[in-house]
Amino acid sequence: MEDEGQNDVSVASSSTVDCDLEEHRELNYLGLSDCSSAESYRLTSLSGDRKNDLNLKATELRLGLPGFQSPKREPNLHFVSSGKPDEKLLFPLLPLSQKSVVTGNKRGFSEVNDPIPKEGNWMFRASENEGPDSSNPGIKIKQSVGTAGAQSNLGNGIPSKQSKEHSLATSQNNASNNAPAAKAQVVGWPPVRSFRKNSLVSTSRNNEEVDGKLGAGALFIKVSMDGAPYLRKVDLHNYSTYQELSSALGKMFSCFIVGQCGSSGNLFKEMQTADSSKDLLHGSEYVLTYEDKDGDWMLVGDVPWNMFMNTCKKLKIMKGSDAIGLAPTAAEKSTRGY
Amino acid sequence: MNYFPDEVIEQVFDYVTSHQDRNSISLVCKSWYRIERLSRQRVFIGNCYSISPDKVIERFPAIRSLSLKGKPHFADFNLVPYDWGGHVYPWIVAMAKSKVNLEEIRLKRMVVSDESLELISSSFANFTSLVLVSCEGFTTNGLKAVAANCSLLRELDLQENEVEDHRSQWLNHFPESSTSLVTLNFSCLKGEINLAALERLVARSPNLKTLRVNRAVTLDSLQKILSWAPQLMDLGVGSFIHDPDSETFYKLKNTIVQCKSITSLSGFLEVAPYCLPAIYPVCSNLTSLNLSYALGIPASELIKLIRHCKRLQRLWILDCIGDKGLEVVASNCKDLQELRVFPSDPFGAGNTVVTEEGLVAISFGCKKLNSLLYFCHQMTNAALITVANNCPNFVRFRLCILDPTKADPLTQQPLDEGFGAIVQSCKGLKRLSLSGLLTDMVFLYIGMYAEQLEMLSVAFAGKSDKGMIYVLNGCKKLRKLEVRDSPFGDAALLADPGKYETMRSLWMSSCEVTLGACKALARKMPMLNVEIIDDSELTVDEALCGGAPVAVTADGDDKQKVEKMYLYRTLAGPRNDAPEFVCTL
């Protein structure tokens, strides 16, 4: 809307937009001019001396992105960023490929904060989300441990994430001139219905009752051991293979065992993978078992790691002799097909 | 005007169904007013205090369907004290006494007592439909009465209500002769359900199209229920957790495959990710999917699921899906019209994982998008402008940046330009919610461009009275304005008193409005109820337990600021059920 004459803030007579209001004032059927446009005149004359401040023409919106200016525009527009070179924010008005917009943002941002090639950022985020163990892509850097692709970029990824958060924090500090203690919990903010809030709270509480928390954050599972005076908790999200779990547990419980570790330092006889055959209990001292959601005790290693993470309620390190009865059950379950 | 007999005109009016249209035709002339009012069956009252029930019955004696809304919208976020009002009981009493042939009652944000439900169930012989949204005050005993007595019941739809569980086994009270159910939604109930009774009920309800169960319904039971109702179109599952190797799960997958009519899926109040593949077979037909209560599903699983849902028109989801997940939505769901992204962790700093990037991706992929509710960690002007460019069809645009005064992180600027682009581009925008750092400029844009805007929600925004004045002057179709924690004061409130008679209501809390200005406004505009709500003497706990509040009067110092003010146009005068902490000036 390029209308020079359109200075009124009310949009009462939008049909007169194209006309110069001085000449073509619309008359209603009584022959009087529309009251509201008279009002709007009053309003603009009140703010007439403010017209220059408002600079309405300059603040006229175009649907271009900030930094893209037609030659006529006046220099001090609201959306010109402070001090940064325009080219960072200068995007062509033609339909953009999705990636260029998104990475454009990223580039501008990260170049300001940290000279990291955009590929690094991109891959870091990609690996976060596609890694098998990721439940909260934004946060847990540890989760990418198992994903080969992320390895090389982890070093790049972490500092950029930190710097992003750092600059977000500073921007919050700069920007909150009007904010009442924005970090403290404000009543009724964010505007989520109490019903929904309460539902989510009780869902996460229920999940915790199952001796583990699904989803965002850690997945803590209790680990007990025959003969040990107390039990430990492990966060299953820290591991992505049975091997890792087993060695971690071995280290954790080694203090309870005297001279039982195998040659490789592993406490347990080789862990069963989904492919290997069932028979492993050749009189090894300890085996690792778990209680699943149905309450059955099974040998660890039967199922794919992901499924194990989701079904495991408790872990127990049993003496090998106690665990012999488990083997057929585990085999039975695994032949059901999935 | 009347070249036709009344009966003919009445027939023509039968085709006019929208409330606004019927309101319009009633204004044409006296005889049309008469014909219209005698034939109107569906009555919608947007504010239960705007008119008395007797007046409604007097004007519309043929009323069959009554829709009422009670508390102001901000009541959803605990800004309205517990006992403020919104009781439906007087309405039910009046309707029962007058013996109107009421068939349908739809309530939103009202206090519904068990007595009300019992009265409904015993007063209206042809009662078929009860829809309660965000209501409270009743227990499963009230539901028992409805189930037992409403023999023609077709629709019992309970959405997000706070219902006390009294272990009433209410489901058992549907008589064996009850076979007419089309919609049964009890997903918000927290208690146990007699699963066998539910199965039998579903088995004898061949017309059942919508079934949304609560958390107590296990996968086991769900499987049996579904085998009785392959005609279901709308399914809300309860607990969706099971051992994926079990027989039950296997049976469930087969049963779901038989349900070829399911187009809407919701619930998942408890769900484990590995169970999701069970619903893959129905995904290709889904037009509506609500996973917004499904905590604990990692983004990767959500993405896998979304890839199957090519026909989605409505998607409600948690922000755990992430920006990358939203990109998948954008590339898969080309028909998407409504998107809601809720925060999985509203108070966790930095745990949210959607930003402006997700929204931008959606805008590139989903060109039909017209309704948005988006909770995110940050937003930029550039992103909003891109979205405005890509999606000019927004009717509802609600953005919630979790830090309410956060600036554009790229430019440190307020988000005025971004929202300005939205209102300029989306010429049909009817509802807008703002957040982020905002000056008076955004309101200037809204006043200039948002010609169809009917509802505006403002929080922590603006610099001066001018902001609110721009909106009141500019938005000719504005019906509801709600403002919190913004520096709008007396000058804004009193700038155009007549405006409020063209609106349904105005809410202002934690603003700069004084008692004196409220009083002046109330004096000038007798058709408005100007309520001052002062629950500041109460602690939150007291308020919730209905503790004894200090009475609010109009005697205070005129200069003192009013913490909460709610004004609305009314034909009914000051209400007689206002609690002590509410004073109508």
Average pLDDT of the segment spanning A183-201: 81
Q: What pLDDT is attached to residue A197?
A: 86
- pLDDT at A25 > cutoff 80: no
- pLDDT at B515 > cutoff 80: yes
Q: Residue B389: list chain A partners with CB under 8 A.
A: 63
Per the confidence metrics, is the pTM higher than 0.80? no
**How would DSSP label each residue in A4-72?**
TT---S--TTGGGTTS-TTT-PPB-TTSPBPHHHHHHHHHHHHTGGGHHHH-HHHH---SSPTT---TT
Query: Measured between alpha carbons, how far is A27 from B161 in angstroms, rounded to an integer?
Result: 52
Q: Percent of chain A, pLDDT > 70?
A: 28
Average pLDDT of the segment spanning A322-326: 68
Query: Measured between alpha carbons, how far is B400 from B423 in angstroms, rounded to an integer?
Result: 16
**More reliable by pLDDT, B549 or B140:** B140
- pLDDT at A48 > cutoff 60: no
H helix runs in chain A, sequence order: 35-46, 51-54, 56-59, 98-113, 118-130, 148-175, 194-209, 242-253, 305-311, 326-334
* A residues 289-318 closer than 8 Å to B (CB): 292-294, 306-307, 310-311
Q: What pLDDT is attached to residue B345?
A: 77
- State pLDDT tens for residues A109-167: 333 344 434 433 333 333 333 334 433 333 333 333 333 333 333 334 334 344 444 44
Contact B404 A182 (CB under 8 A): yes
Is A12 at the interface with chain B, CB within 8 A? yes
Contact A134 B447 (CB under 8 A): no
Q: What pLDDT is attached to residue B554?
A: 66
User: CB burial class (10 A; 0-12, 13-18, 19+) of residue A256?
Assistant: middle
Dihedral of the alpha carbons of B130, B133, B139, B143, in degrees to the nearest 10: 20
- pLDDT at B228 > cutoff 70: yes
**More reliable by pLDDT, A187 or B447:** B447
ipTM field: 0.86
- Coil/strand/helix, residue B528: strand
Cα within 13 Å of Cα(B385), Cβ side: 25
| B410, A109 contact by CB (below 8 A) | yes
**More reliable by pLDDT, B351 or A156:** B351
- State pLDDT tens for residues B379-411: 999 999 999 999 999 999 999 999 889 999 999
Q: Which two tokens stand for residue B335?
A: 């028909």
Mean residue pLDDT across chain A: 53
Helix or strand holding residue B238 (H, E): strand B234-240
Query: Measured between alpha carbons, how far is B329 from B358 in angstroms, rounded to an integer?
Result: 10
Q: Percent of chain B, pLDDT > 90?
A: 75
Q: What pLDDT is attached to residue B348?
A: 58
**More reliable by pLDDT, B382 or B253:** B382
Q: What pLDDT is attached to residue B502?
A: 95
Q: What pLDDT is attached to residue B83?
A: 87
**More reliable by pLDDT, B491 or A44:** B491
Mean residue pLDDT across chain B: 91
Average pLDDT of the segment spanning B505-522: 94
Query: Measured between alpha carbons, how far is B107 from A135 in angstroms, rounded to an integer?
Result: 38
Q: What pLDDT is attached to residue B352?
A: 53
Among B470, B476, B478, smallest CA distance to B504 is for B478
Alpha carbon separation from A268 to A183, A220, A226, A238, A314 (Å, rounded)? 48, 21, 14, 19, 17
* B residues 106-135 closer than 8 Å to A (CB): 134
With cut-offs at 50, 70 and 90, classify the pLDDT of residue B537: low
Q: What is the CA radius of gyration of chain A?
A: 32
A-B Cβ pairs (cutoff 8 Å, strict): 263
Cα within 13 Å of Cα(B92), Cβ side: 25
Q: Residue A207: list chain B partners with CB under 8 A.
A: 295-296
Q: Give bridge partners of residue B530 from the DSSP assignment.
A: B567
Contacts of A74 (CB under 8 A, 6+ apart): A55, A57, A58
- pLDDT at B501 > cutoff 60: yes
The DSSP output letter for B513 is: -
With cut-offs at 50, 70 and 90, classify the pLDDT of residue A281: very low
**More reliable by pLDDT, A125 or B4:** B4
User: CB burial class (10 A; 0-12, 13-18, 19+) of residue B577?
Assistant: middle
* B residues 386-445 closer than 8 Å to A (CB): 386, 388-389, 400, 402-407, 409-414, 416-417, 420-421, 424-425, 433, 437, 441, 444-445
- pLDDT at B422 > cutoff 60: yes
- pLDDT at A271 > cutoff 90: no
Instruction: Name which of A27-36, B62-71, B454-463 the model is least confident about.
Output: A27-36
Q: What pLDDT is attached to residue A227?
A: 78
| B238, B214 contact by CB (below 8 A) | yes
With cut-offs at 50, 70 and 90, classify the pLDDT of residue A320: confident
Amino acid identity, residue A24?
Answer: H
Q: Percent of chain B, pLDDT > 70?
A: 94
To the nearest whole angstrom, how far is the Cα of B15 from the nearest Cα of chain A? Answer: 31
Q: What pLDDT is attached to residue B495?
A: 95
- State pLDDT tens for residues A214-257: 444 457 788 888 877 777 778 787 777 788 888 888 777 776 66
With cut-offs at 50, 70 and 90, classify the pLDDT of residue B585: confident
Contact A172 B406 (CB under 8 A): yes
Q: What pLDDT is attached to residue B1?
A: 55
Q: What pLDDT is attached to residue A257?
A: 61
**More reliable by pLDDT, B228 or A80:** B228
Q: What pLDDT is attached to residue A108?
A: 38
Instruction: Name which of A288-292, B18-22, B58-62, B516-520 the model is least confident about.
Output: A288-292
| B311, B284 contact by CB (below 8 A) | yes
To the nearest whole angstrom, how far is the Cα of B381 from the nearest Cα of chain A? Answer: 8
With cut-offs at 50, 70 and 90, classify the pLDDT of residue B3: confident
**More reliable by pLDDT, B526 or A39:** B526
